[in-house]
A and B are shown apart, each in its own frame.
Chain A
Amino acid sequence: MTRFILQRLAFGAVVLLVLSSFVFFLFFVAPGDPARMIAGDKATEAQLQQIRTNLGVDRPMIEQYATFIGRAVQGDLGYSYRNRQPVAEIIVRRIPATLSLVIGAVVLWLAIGIPIGLMSARHPGSLRDRLGQAFILVGLSFPTFVLGMMSLYLLYFLPKQAGFTLFPAGGYKAFSRDPLIWAWHLALPWTTLALTMAAFYARLTRGQMLDVMGEDYIRTARAKGLSERKVVWKHGMRAALTPLVTQLGADIALLLGGAIVIEQVYGLQGVGALAVQAVNNQDRPIIIGVVLLGGLFIVTANIVVDLFYVLLDPRIR
């Protein structure tokens, strides 16, 4: 068991190392002079040189990378080129918005996706199954930003033109100030994200459930005289939903690293929006920071999922 965890940790460290060196060297070979970006066009050569020395960008590549890694493990990701604030601080300030978005959406998409998948799988070929499959196909095909723009138009703009405010256009309001306002502002982003993800989870659940319901142990459960509800909900679900944990872990981690599109559409000041801004501003330390944070989330999620799996599936113990 310990060995297993150590293996996973070691692999996680490798992933982060590869990821950081990828981004770091990417920016190193990239054209463009960070000093020029900070100082602007009017700066003299001496000023630029001064800035380069301060940033350390005139030193050899390997040395810079080593310094960067050394600081990164202590939580120091450097300073933004734009406003000279610590990168870690800037990112941390953005986390609540992304976290709020993801938590609500996860609950919602599981609540929508799994029942639809189950309903669809219970009676394959029936009308309900076909409706479920239609939901799955449409949901999978909807690009998130198109759905977002559509819901903004229908649920924010049209009511507003009619003279009342059904939903706000977006923006993030802190939970601590007023939970109701917080939820009201996040309602549209939650639904948008949840609907596209729900389709994916419905498909996954449907496939799993169809497989499991054909297993011999389901026949045994029926032969024992269990009610159909118990056969499906206890024996079927347990086996069908366990593999979903892997997918869920990966998806949560990916979104925590920045629900880029949703944040962009709804103007949420989360990590994803920060990444887009940083890219537009060529603020490289922030880009590196956000990518590393995203990688960290995924690596952590993988390990957590593996541990969960050990709890859920006795065969792995």
Chain B
Amino acid sequence: MASVKRFSPLPGFGLAMGYTLVYLTLVVLIPLTAVGTKTLTMGLDAFWAAVSSPRVVASYQLSFGASLLAAAINVVFGLIFAWVLVRYRFPGKGLIDALVDLPFALPTAVAGIALATIHSENGPVGKLLEPWGIEIAYTPNGVLLALVFIGLPFVVRTVQPVLADLEKEVEEAAAGLGASRGQTFLRIILPHIGPALLTGFAMAFARAVGEYGSVIFIAGNVPMVSEITPLLIITKLEQYDYAGATAVASVMLVFSFVLLLIINGLQGWMHHRYARGA
């Protein structure tokens, strides 16, 4: 490792690094390559047939479409949450700040059955909406709702510290130069938190595409209508169609990796942008 690593007086690099690499390889890298090798043994035609059947394509449309929409909704509400948490004092603020992370902490199955119960026709919200002809549970709307639920903390928690970091003097300077509050927001604040919003959006989107537990209870899971891609993978597995399941999984994996790289890039950008002093 001498050529790779700079000298350090601290001990333990060999041991720590060795353990890190072995554990990473055994737990993450080897299992993930299983998807690749399984896909490669399929042959192109079989692969294409598996990933482009109408039912699969319909599931992509739902998963990706609902995830994009959910992430967009999260950007709006996440920004509002971050804003009121950073800027205002009001009763219940501490509770909100702590509970914003509930979607992280609440097991997805629990969230799933709770959301399904609330929004079913007998549930407290479902009952209210029914006279208006709005159905949420067991429709694509339910998928969207669940994805909004699990994605919210991503946007709040990326934007919140960046917003808190924005120096008040900058806004005061803008106001002093005659900018209205709206202009200050659009021209000063929004550009400042833009990268954070984008990062939060990408994270919420990435999480939503792969989400399973909180969605399946409320989705109804009707093929071609409200069946998300992760569920389709499980369905194929239960039918012992391992190759088909793996093919669909590989499409999602490639997509996730690209998103991961984009998110890492965004975070690098954020780090670069928001780093002070140095």
Do A and B come from the same complex? no
The interface of chain A, by Cβ under 8 A from chain B, is: none
